[in-house]
Structure 1
């Protein structure tokens, strides 16, 4: 998901600069600044609706206007034309504006900010890695739990099948024995009945 753009504004050399960027860091990179102008107080997030409208029409593009003017920002601004009577003052202003971003005392602040940002990124990366590791461990534990349950169910089924086969075999053996007894009883009865019927016939004589 794209990050929301904001309008940032500063002054460098002969120009005021403005850009629509997702972060202060992106704005500094687009301006080519070698230090954090925001920490130095020479850059800010703009709340001027005209400046915001101009930058949002060309997001990511550095727009310019002559330094100190109130005109519109554009990609190709003309140099300031009033360099006569106020030349020395403008020159001093330009030098001041161009030197301020390069104050040596700003570098430790910027480096400290960069180190802090790097540490924050590293901590966030480690947090995400821990979350991924925890999620993977939970998924692995769940898979193992389901596999153990399946193994127990399969073992119970196999045991029940063996017991059924054993009982069915015993019942089949008993049934075969009963059938054998039935046949033997039929044979004995046939013989006994024949003998008795013969005796009856002799008695009736």
Structure 2
């Protein structure tokens, strides 16, 4: 049981952009989600599970947190890693001499396994920390989704309001146009009646003028 509990979290490593990245997660899927990968990096051969004791120790101290180091380096994984020195240095100036690293102390022989109870407590603590980090990321995602939903609702409301104003203006225009057309038809009818009246009167008067001249 303690052994199974301890293996709930595994350490996964990949290289993305300028950084090597590592995380303690319960599965490859969880690691991909934490890295924000859009494809399966494990199937592509650019991600793997690692048992490097230094990397495992660093990730287990902060389960669920993505740790980084400059790509291709052998430094320690941290939450905020600097860019690789060959990118950060100014190419126009003199290059800094690489710092001499102190010789690594020889690895100690493996110590005896700690008591089983300590293993259980460490595994439970790491799993709880990972779950906490997952909840934090999920809360951030929900907050971002809520903000997007609010913005979408605001835009939809603005569009609906503008569309309603346009529809109202169109109806008013059509009503006024119909009224003008009706007035124009009435004027045409009056003009035609006046023309007929004038033609009849003119013909009578012209006839009277002819008779008077005869």
Q: Deviations over 1:129-187 (max 9, x none)?
A: 21221122122212212221221121022112201211110110111011012101211
Correspondence 1:2-21 to 2 at 5 A: 2=16, 4-5=18-19, 21=20
Q: How many residues are matched?
A: 143
In the alignment, which residue of structure 2 is the partner of 1:137?
A: 153
Structure 2 unmatched ranges of 5 or more? 1-15, 25-30, 32-46, 76-83, 85-102
Correspondence 1:121-200 to 2 at 5 A: 121-198=137-214
Task: Point out the structure with max Rg over C-alpha.
Answer: 1
Q: CA deviation at 1:99?
A: 5.3
Q: CA deviation at 1:40?
A: 5.5
SS of the counterpart of 1:95?
Answer: coil
Q: Are 1:110 and 2:110 matched, yes or no?
A: no
- Of the three residues 84, 109, 113, the one matched with 1:94 is 109
Distance 2:172 2:151 in 1: 32
Distance 2:200 2:134 in 1: 98
SS of the counterpart of 2:120?
Answer: coil
Structure number with greater CO (CA < 8 Å, separation at least 6) is: 2
Which structure has the highest helix share of the two? 1
The 3 A distance-change label for structure 1 pair 37 and 180 is same
The 3 A distance-change label for structure 1 pair 187 and 104 is same
TM-score (norm 1): 0.54
Distance 1:181 1:40 in 2: 107
The 3 A distance-change label for structure 1 pair 188 and 94 is same
Structure 1 unmatched ranges of 5 or more? 6-20, 57-68, 72-79, 81-89, 199-205
The 3 A distance-change label for structure 1 pair 23 and 113 is same
SS of the counterpart of 2:211?
Answer: helix
In the alignment, which residue of structure 2 is the partner of 1:31?
A: 51
Distance 2:68 2:212 in 1: 127
In the alignment, which residue of structure 1 is the partner of 2:87?
A: none
Distance 2:175 2:68 in 1: 75
In the alignment, which residue of structure 2 is the partner of 1:22?
A: 21
The 3 A distance-change label for structure 1 pair 196 and 40 is closer
Q: CA deviation at 1:127?
A: 1.2
Q: CA deviation at 1:3?
A: 5.7
Distance 1:195 1:45 in 2: 119
Q: CA deviation at 1:126?
A: 1.0
